[in-house]
Structure 1
Amino acid sequence: MSQLTPVAEGIHRLVPSPAGRVHLVEAGEGPLVLLVHGFPESWYSWRHQLPALAAAGYRAVAVDVRGYGRSSRPADVAAYRMTELVEDGVAVVRALGERSAVIVGHDWGAGIAADSALLRPDVFRAVAMLSVPYVPRGGPRPSEAFAAMGGTDEFYVSYFQTPGRAEAEIEPDVRGWLAGMYAALSADTMPGPGAPDPHFVAPGGRLRDRFPEGRLPGWLGAADLDFYAAEFERTGLTGALNRYRNMDRDWSDLAPYDGAPVTQPSLFIGGAQDATTRWLADAVDAFPATLPGLVSSHLLDDCGHWVQQERPNEVNGLLLDWLTQL
């Protein structure tokens, strides 16, 4: 390990990974809990969970996913496929001198966490998913499914596929774009009923054209936004967006696991106002089959997509209740 730096949130470390390095922030001692963020975020999205988990007797570790922050950013798009990200998590566990961990993920991190549990049950003994429920591999090729959504509008996942396209929209004004994205998916600032859906792009338009402007969500202070903006202004968005550009590769890579359940003890927490939770309601209903080890599932009222930041105290309580049952 290298560059151990104590900070208010914990200790920053760089540890080796298959791509080069993973940056992480660690707090506390005890059983290892690995926290994996989503798009467009960083380890910082777990700033409320790190001290709470540490105080409860856990070794809480929040990583920058490959492509983000101070973690390695390979140039090859295919380097961001799910199997590579799972091995990054294994490398972190090993670098910290541990044999196993509980893994907790939000947004894309929820998918990484679920597939980590699926592919490496020898390492990941329990899994919690925030905002995005487990959906076993199956169905049509993802690019085909997403292309069929939205009618004449383009779903954001499809919009993100072509390298450079979304970057050209975001990178001239990273801070403004992030503020709009966070507001668009937060319960207190998301567009109201009847407004154009910010997950879709009109023909010839941009994703940000449908973002609300002028007000930050209650959970996001100016200093928080400054932190996120500084990270992406330094790194660019390509590494983060490359996760979306591997969904068809993941579909092929995971073919041997078609329909496979995740059997370890599990937890799901979603926001009742989150479009992702509504779109994937059938996946939540399927939990008895897809997550046979499910301990509990929760939908938080008046909560959007950024659950652990919008409702940190409630999420902390649910996580700690679940962890004590493992």
Structure 2
Amino acid sequence: MSHVDSITTTLFGHREREREREREREMEGIKHKMVNVNGINMHVAEKGEGPVVLFLHGFPELWYTWRHQILAFAASGYRAVAPDLRGFGDTDAPPSITSYTCLHVVGDMVALIGSLGVDQVFLVAHDWGAMVGWYLCMFRPDLIKAFVSLTLPFRPRHPKLKPIEGMLAFFGDDYYMCRFQEPGKMESEIAEYGAAAVIKKILTERKPGPPILPKQNPFGNLRDIDDIKLPAWFSDEDLKYYASKYNHNGFTGGLNYYRALDLNWELTAAWTGVQIKIPVKFIVGGLDMMYTTPGMKEYVHGDGFKNDVPLLKECVVIQGAGHFINQERAEEVNARIHEFIKEFSTF
């Protein structure tokens, strides 16, 4: 290495360390608290003052998935609030599958919003959090000013076909939601790999189409996972944070959301055919596993989605992006969210 190259490398490394220290200082400004909601203790991270933007994470994630959004929206005059959902992270995880129905998780959100001292919030949600978000818009539209759903469009209730029955018919018993159904089974398979390896595999997976978990080596060869290089948008420190929480609290809480799918179907019979009448923006990555599942693009871009969600304003496809777009394309996603919700802001 030449003298000039050495100086350049040193300066680059110094700038990187400065940026990392600045990020750490910003993260330290995020407030953490425990709130009693709907009979459980919920961990909530928040920063900023102003209209509330409520961020709901998916699986296998935590409040931490919204770290970029919390900092950006707090700096833009909003109060950014991101809980660990029931069963995740530092929030209580009731043991029974029946404690994870849509009525329970929406009840949690209603109580959380009430604890914030506001009448309405802007809602931004990803993956399973978006499923909770759609239920919240269905059951309590009075609480939501506008909703930005990342990766997951509305899924209207089929009047005759239970969710798992339909998934088995369409995708087979190796489809990931089907594989999650047996209590304890997936937990034991994950344990063979370790939390860090599984989270690393899921968050870096970019294979389009319905996710399949074979009964043998469901997440692939462990050595191959060890060789996966983390993308620029997800650091070793990020992985360590996720893994530390899942190593301590396990995956059962998150998996129980999937195990309650058929129960949700039974509980929501009265809402069959109901439209979501909240202003909505949908954002998805072009490589997203759900978006590239057969039939999904036709629903999103055809008449189906707009018929079910008549106040749907826009569907944005971020080309080249995968499932975890709020982390992978944080700045672009933040801009897309902000340009939408500012239409409904009064400041």
Give the TM-score of the pair, scaled to structure 1. Answer: 0.91
Q: Which letter maps to 2:292?
A: R
Structure 2 Cα separation of the partners of residues 36 and 182 of structure 1: 17
* Structure 1 contact 80–243 (Cα < 8 Å) conserved: yes
Alignment of 1:188-207 (within 5 A): 190-191=206-207, 199-202=211-214, 204-207=215-218
Q: Which residue of 2 aligns with 1:144?
A: 165
Q: Is the contact made by 1:66 and 1:73 (CA closer than 8 Å) also made in structure 2?
A: yes
| Residue 64 of structure 1, CA deviation | 0.3
Contact 1:136-1:258 at 8 Å conserved across structures: yes
Question: Retained in 2: the 8 A contact 1:49–1:312?
Answer: yes
- Tell me, what secondary structure is at the counterpart of 2:135? helix
| Contact 1:42-1:68 at 8 Å conserved across structures | yes
* CA distance in structure 1 between the aligned counterparts of 2:93 and 2:213, rounded to whole angstroms: 27
Alignment equivalent of 2:319, drawn from 280, 291, 301: 301
Alignment partner, residue 255 of structure 2: 241
Determine the structure 2 residue equivalent to 1:44.
64
Q: In the TM superposition, what is the alpha-carbon distance from 1:148 to its structure 2 partner?
A: 1.5
The 3-state SS of whatever aligns with 2:316 is: strand
Partner of residue 34 from structure 2, selected from 14, 21, 28: 14
Instruction: Render the CA deviation track for 1:220-269: whole Å, top value 9, x for unaligned.
Output: 11000000000100100100100000000111111111121111111100
Are residue 163 (structure 1) and residue 183 (structure 2) matched?
Answer: yes
Give the one of 65, 68, 75 matched to 1:55. Answer: 75
- 1:249 and 1:210, CA in 2 relative to 1: closer, same or farther beyond 3 A? farther
In structure 1, give the amino acid aligned to 2:299. Answer: A
> What amino acid maps onto 1:219 in structure 2?
W
Point out where structure 1 has 5 or more consecutive residues left out of the alignment. 1-5, 185-189
Paired residue total: 310
Are 1:314 and 2:328 matched, yes or no?
Answer: no
1:283 matched to 2:294? The reply is no
SS at match of 2:245: helix
For each residue in 1:55-87, what CA deviation from the matched residue of structure 2 results, as whole angstroms up to 9, or x when unmatched? 111111011000011111101111011111011
Taking the aligned partners of 1:198 and 1:208, their CA distance within structure 2 comes to 14
The change in CA–CA distance for 1:39 and 1:9 in structure 2 (over 3 A counts) is: farther
Contact preservation (8 Å) 2:43, 2:84: yes
Answer with 211-220 or 74-83: which moved more. 211-220
Structure 1 174/94 Cα, relative in aligned 2: closer, same or farther at 3 Å?
same
Identity of aligned residues (%): 34
Aligned residue among 280, 286, 293 for 1:266: 280
**Range moving further from structure 2, 220-229 or 170-179:** 170-179
Query: SS state of the match for residue 259, structure 1?
Result: coil
**What aligned pairs does 1:217-228 form with structure 2 within 5 A after superposition?**
217-228=231-242
* Cα drift, residue 7 of structure 1: 5.3
Query: Highest Rg: 1 or 2?
Result: 2
Letter in 2 for 1:205: Q
CA contact (8 A) 1:156 1:207 kept: no
* Residue 208 of structure 1 pairs with residue 219 of structure 2: yes
Tell me the C-alpha RMSD between the 2 structures: 1.8
User: What residue number does 1:252 align with?
Assistant: 266
| Partner residue in 2 for 1:3 | none
Aligned residue for 2:204? 183
Amino acid at match of 1:208: F
Pairwise CA distance, 1:159 = 0.3
Conserved? CA contact 2:171–2:210, under 8 Å: no
Shift of 1:16: 1.0
Q: How big is the shift at 1:217?
A: 2.8
Looking at structure 2, the residues matched to 63 and 281 of structure 1 have their Cα atoms a distance apart, in angstroms, of 30
Q: Identify unmatched segments of 5+ residues in structure 2.
A: 1-25
SS of 1:25's partner is strand
Residue identity in the other structure for 1:176: A
Q: What residue number does 2:195 align with?
A: 174
Q: In 1, distance between residues paired with 2:248 and 2:121?
A: 31
Q: Secondary structure at the residue paired with 1:66?
A: coil
